[in-house]
C-alpha cells in the first residue's frame, strides 16, 4: 500500500474507532467488533489471490462479486482477516463495522485493464472517477477506479465527473450512504412486492 495511504488510514478511521470503543464499553462486557460483523473466512495473508473464488458474494448486500468484478473491493485487516465486497459502498460499510481492525491493504477493480475480469489494484495507486455518467454499483453517484491516471482522465473527458484519490472517493461513499441506502431499500421493497404479486 502507498505509504501516505498507510499513514492516513489510521487517522481517517481513528475517530470512528474511539467512538466505537466508548460504545462497546458502555453496552458490552468485552471490546472489539461484534461477532456478526467480523469477516467470516479464515485468515489469509494473500486474500487478493483468486479473490473472487474466495469471496464470491458480498457479505453486506449479497451481490455477486464476479458480476460486479469491475467495482469489487477487498479489504485486508492486520489480523489477516479480509472482507471481499461488491463495491466501494459496501467496502465503506466493512471499514465502519470493523473499527477495531486496522486495514493494512485495500484493493479495487482496475477499470483501466482490458481483462474480461478486472484485476485488483491497490487503492493507493488508483484514481477514482466520481460523479460521472458511468453506472454506479450500490450508489447513484458513480465511483469507478482506474489503475492508470491517463485512463481515468480519458473516462472523465468522455463521461464527466471528477478524478480523485481514494480518500476523497471514500469520503464521497460515506456522504452518499444515506441516500444510497434509502434508494436501495425502496428498490428491494418494490422487487419483493412484484414477486408477491406474481405468486398471487
Cβ atoms of 102 and 133 closer than 8 Å: no
Claim: this prediction has a pTM higher than 0.85? no
pLDDT tens profile 16-31: 444 444 444 434 444 6
**Portion of the chain with pLDDT greater than 70, in percent:** 84
pLDDT tens profile 83-133: 999 999 999 999 999 988 999 999 999 999 999 999 999 999 999 999 999
Q: What ranges in the chain are assigned the alpha helix state H?
A: 3-27, 51-54, 88-97, 149-159, 166-199
Q: Stretch 58-75: mean pLDDT, rounded?
A: 97
Q: How far apart are CA 48 and CA 66, in angstroms?
A: 14
Average pLDDT along the chain: 88
State residue 38's pLDDT score: 84
Residue with cell 477499470: 111
Joined together, the cell numbers standing for residue 64 give 455477486
State residue 2's pLDDT score: 57
DSSP-derived secondary structure for 35-84: GGGS--SPP-TTTTTTHHHHS-B-TTT--BTTTTTTT-EEEEETTS-EEE
pLDDT tens profile 119-176: 999 999 999 999 999 999 999 999 999 999 999 999 999 999 999 999 999 999 999 9
Amino acid at each position: 500500500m502507498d505509504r501516505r495511504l498507510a499513514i492516513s488510514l489510521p487517522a481517517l478511521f481513528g475517530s470512528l474507532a474511539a467512538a466505537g470503543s466508548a460504545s462497546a464499553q458502555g453496552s458490552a462486557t468485552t471490546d472489539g467488533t461484534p461477532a456478526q460483523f467480523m469477516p467470516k473466512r479464515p485468515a489469509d495473508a494473500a486474500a487478493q489471490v483468486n479473490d473472487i473464488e474466495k469471496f464470491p458474494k458480498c457479505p453486506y448486500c449479497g451481490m455477486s462479486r464476479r458480476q460486479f468484478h469491475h467495482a469489487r473491493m477487498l479489504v485486508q485487516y492486520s489480523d489477516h482477516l479480509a472482507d471481499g465486497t461488491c463495491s466501494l459502498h459496501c467496502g465503506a460499510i466493512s471499514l465502519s463495522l470493523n473499527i477495531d481492525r486496522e486495514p493494512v491493504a485495500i484493493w479495487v477493480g482496475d477499470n483501466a485493464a482490458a481483462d474480461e475480469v478486472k484485476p485488483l489494484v491497490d487503492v493507493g495507486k488508483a484514481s477514482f472517477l466520481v460523479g460521472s455518467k458511468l453506472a454506479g454499483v450500490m450508489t447513484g453517484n458513480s465511483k469507478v477506479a482506474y489503475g492508470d491516471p491517463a485512463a481515468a482522465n480519458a473516462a472523465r473527458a468522455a463521461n464527466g465527473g471528477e478524478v480523485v484519490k481514494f480518500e476523497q472517493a471514500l469520503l464521497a461513499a460515506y456522504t452518499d450512504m444515506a441516500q444510497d441506502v434509502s434508494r436501495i431499500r425502496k428498490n428491494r421493497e418494490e422487487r419483493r412486492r412484484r414477486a408477491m404479486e406474481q405468486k398471487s
